[in-house]
Structure 1
């Protein structure tokens, strides 16, 4: 069902508002003569057309989004002073953007790839962005490896195609990726739709309460629609028949009033327990087992309004994990620390220095009060107000209260490996995940992995890749080796 068209009355005009006399024929020097440069409507239309696209996201280019509401359903004030979480029943407007990671803007939706799950909460204390995925872990634990990792997932500089050699060479040389690769090639690697998958904050974040106590948390968004996935065979057919399947499904569900929702919770770890926890709690390749830290469910998120314009509201939407509000802050997670810079920097390049002024990005429940001025597309909102601080002309001023609690650090500077906790290694949680699977799930997992590894051209890369899964679980490695050999003949 198409969105009802917005009808504008009156004559067609130029961008400057002058009426257009003829939009069918360009101005020429006589009948059949050359086009005149004085036809400013023609030049304006062609110049605008050439500039209609902005650089697509390097990752998460392919996406869909919707507006909705978040409602607090349980008291979390003992853990955070965030105003939007201050009382049961309180509602906050949200915008959620789903995406695939590796594909470009025109790629198909039904592919084996993590899904981005980015939520913007329009709170009364400013926008809070929670930038996550549909997986609780990631491939790497340090942001310095991120450009290299993404290069392996994108097109090879010589062939112009994604190459199995590059993908598996990097993964086999980065054993920390074994957990996420196992997750990605399991049954949840290709969600049936955006509505039928869970979301995770993935990183560890800090919550802090009015008393100044701090806690480490991990976010969980449990789909109320139930988990539904596609097999590799089903996805291959769907991606060819309907490349826009996930975007279409989300839009049409909201149009018919079938509003998707998620139950929201956090795992909570007292700060004092982090140093001695059996896994490094800031390692993005690890989960916190629920037996150690159960989920505290505290909210409900519902999507109930489609964007009116995909480019303006989905393509130009920006999310940054650096967008915190009082009571919420970062952790020493090295991947998160890198993203605190990289996301904002990407948006300043891609959309522009004033991207935060766009309707989808600006605060909806409060007003942004800054001393930043000028730049492309600056709208003059500050009028004649002073553009410095401190000033004695009634300008905005600092609060003298930090958004999050300080974290103690010790030691000397340097390129350091993250601290190793008692049960930390690159394979233990991948093995645990494998052993949780049913026999049918294991068979599909092995088949999916073998399908990718079997395309690798070099035997040493094949052996390294298989060996990572062998170390996760001997049976896992044995089955995978046999499946790869069968496919490679």
Structure 2
């Protein structure tokens, strides 16, 4: 290990792959608290790049899923908020949707308790626009430095090759910011009845820019028109053995019988100026914006009506990436989002090749004129007249316009820092999951939550982790914590 360095508790320290002391396992390097992340945070880049190359060839996360094509149609005028062509009045845009579980492998059951991926690719008149979200409006962390460690805690124990609840609760109980997402996961939304019976969320905050250049912050909510329905734990366990492909089969079956699933898109809009002194950091991925502060505004409706002709070509090779932005839509200071802008595209280059955008599900429906050439599996020549810029042969020139590069926020001169979101008065990890339990769930849902949590925790085999897991729920809600403790104690006594 690195000579002359010890952790605060005297134990071993984290190092880079080259053995140098790692600067932080918790915070990434940014310009000020809300500023852009920096490419010279080499440890963050190393963690993301190495993580993206851990599996061949299936996805590291979201490996098991199903996809379908359809159409998104705008039903309400939101042009005052964004000039993005896909969201202009009356516009109809082809779309590819992919739904998935997060932690399981290709052959894993659809009905494991797990967040569900909700990824969309809009084939717009301005190029492809991707929204990569989940069926929950929040996530387990707010800083990308922790993502790789989190996923490994949810995967299989490398010593046994088995899923391990002790690993999961060890990580969660040591990461209090996970409380909101874990409460969603252990509640009814943790096992949807089908992909058709779940909502989808951008989770991240994005920026919208209108034709006049005015900027607002936005969150996306794709609300299922089929109604939210869930599988009780006992039924989910039974179906895991009876039909491991239940959700994939259900989606394709519904489309085959022309019972086309649909979702209504609604958004929350926050004025640009509100973010600075809102009561908690609005870019924190572990938080939701209360609808009382920022009500839902309808945008349009997505209908899925076509199953891909070949699963591997159109679903397995589909490459969704939040870096696919179009004019009128940009990122926010959400650190998780900013890291994903790099990470997803890097994963696709590794997993399906540097020319992945030439594959059928990823190919834009507008002409591509990019100064890129060669690489593995290249099939089309550059549509530029020359492979360099500037040139004398009629090659394209970039036209400055309001788009992702310009859809940014002002960053004043600031020191480089590794800090969590701490400057808003309600930045607390337990307030929102407590409100979810007390204000959203009814008594029956709370009973199921206690049953799901205690059943999951009962499989933890380390007393220290078990104690922290019970304390974790007591911090979220003392009454839920008391009931979980009683159930776990009874199970262990039995």
TM over 0.5: yes
- Residue 157 of structure 1 deviates from its aligned partner by 1.4
Structure 2 segments unaligned to the other structure (5+ residues):
1-54
Provide the rounded CA distance (Å) in 1 between the counterparts of 2:67 and 2:291: 30
Bigger mean CA deviation after superposition, 451-460 or 249-258 = 451-460
Per the alignment, residue 441 of structure 1 pairs with 445
- Residue 418 of structure 1 deviates from its aligned partner by 2.0
Matching of residues 168-207 of structure 1 within 5 Å: 168-207=169-208
RMSD across aligned C-alpha pairs, in angstroms? 1.3
Matching of residues 227-242 of structure 1 within 5 Å: 227-242=228-243
For the Cα contact (< 8 Å) 2:371–2:384, is it kept in 1? no
Matching of residues 74-93 of structure 1 within 5 Å: 74-87=76-89, 89-93=90-94
Per the alignment, residue 475 of structure 2 pairs with 471
Provide the rounded CA distance (Å) in 2 between the counterparts of 1:462 and 1:94: 45
Provide the rounded CA distance (Å) in 2 between the counterparts of 1:391 and 1:465: 63
Per the alignment, residue 32 of structure 1 pairs with none
Q: Which secondary structure state, in structure 2, belongs to the residue aligned with residue 195 of structure 1?
A: helix
Superposed CA deviations along residues 139-172 of structure 1, whole A, max 9, x for unmatched, are 1111110000000011111111111111100000
Per the alignment, residue 388 of structure 2 pairs with 388
Bigger mean CA deviation after superposition, 157-166 or 133-142 = 157-166
Q: Which secondary structure state, in structure 2, belongs to the residue aligned with residue 132 of structure 1?
A: strand
Provide the rounded CA distance (Å) in 2 between the counterparts of 1:444 and 1:384: 59
Q: Which secondary structure state, in structure 2, belongs to the residue aligned with residue 238 of structure 1?
A: helix
Provide the rounded CA distance (Å) in 1 between the counterparts of 2:473 and 2:390: 58
Count residues with an aligned counterpart: 435
Provide the rounded CA distance (Å) in 2 between the counterparts of 1:351 and 1:310: 15
Matching of residues 70-469 of structure 1 within 5 Å: 70-87=72-89, 89-364=90-365, 366-382=366-382, 385-404=385-404, 405-410=407-412, 411-436=414-439, 437-469=441-473
For the Cα contact (< 8 Å) 2:369–2:383, is it kept in 1? no
For the Cα contact (< 8 Å) 1:219–1:267, is it kept in 2? yes
- Residue 395 of structure 1 deviates from its aligned partner by 1.1
Provide the rounded CA distance (Å) in 2 between the counterparts of 1:187 and 1:118: 21
Q: Which secondary structure state, in structure 2, belongs to the residue aligned with residue 324 of structure 1?
A: coil
Per the alignment, residue 8 of structure 1 pairs with none
- Residue 136 of structure 1 deviates from its aligned partner by 0.3
Q: Which secondary structure state, in structure 1, belongs to the residue aligned with residue 416 of structure 2?
A: coil
Q: Which secondary structure state, in structure 1, belongs to the residue aligned with residue 417 of structure 2?
A: coil
Alignment of 1:66 onto 2:62: no
Per the alignment, residue 488 of structure 2 pairs with 484
Change (3 A) 1:383 1:70: closer
Structure of larger gyration radius: 1
Provide the rounded CA distance (Å) in 2 between the counterparts of 1:473 and 1:457: 24
Provide the rounded CA distance (Å) in 2 between the counterparts of 1:204 and 1:344: 19
TM-score by length of 2: 0.86
Provide the rounded CA distance (Å) in 1 between the counterparts of 2:211 and 2:151: 40
For the Cα contact (< 8 Å) 1:319–1:343, is it kept in 2? yes
For the Cα contact (< 8 Å) 1:362–1:368, is it kept in 2? no
Q: Which secondary structure state, in structure 1, belongs to the residue aligned with residue 131 of structure 2?
A: strand
TM-score by length of 1: 0.87
Bigger mean CA deviation after superposition, 163-172 or 449-458 = 449-458
Superposed CA deviations along residues 372-414 of structure 1, whole A, max 9, x for unmatched, are 1001110133378201122231112111124143312232012
Per the alignment, residue 50 of structure 1 pairs with none
Superposed CA deviations along residues 427-468 of structure 1, whole A, max 9, x for unmatched, are 000100110211111111011111111111222211211212
Bigger mean CA deviation after superposition, 126-135 or 404-413 = 404-413
Provide the rounded CA distance (Å) in 2 between the counterparts of 1:173 and 1:384: 52
Moved over 2 A (4+): 380-385
Per the alignment, residue 7 of structure 1 pairs with none
Superposed CA deviations along residues 344-387 of structure 1, whole A, max 9, x for unmatched, are 111000000000001110102x1121011001110133378201
Provide the rounded CA distance (Å) in 2 between the counterparts of 1:256 and 1:406: 45
- Residue 178 of structure 1 deviates from its aligned partner by 0.7
Superposed CA deviations along residues 269-317 of structure 1, whole A, max 9, x for unmatched, are 0110001111210000000010010010110000000000000000000
Bigger mean CA deviation after superposition, 386-395 or 264-273 = 386-395
Provide the rounded CA distance (Å) in 2 between the counterparts of 1:287 and 1:145: 20
Per the alignment, residue 44 of structure 1 pairs with none
- Residue 54 of structure 1 deviates from its aligned partner by 5.9
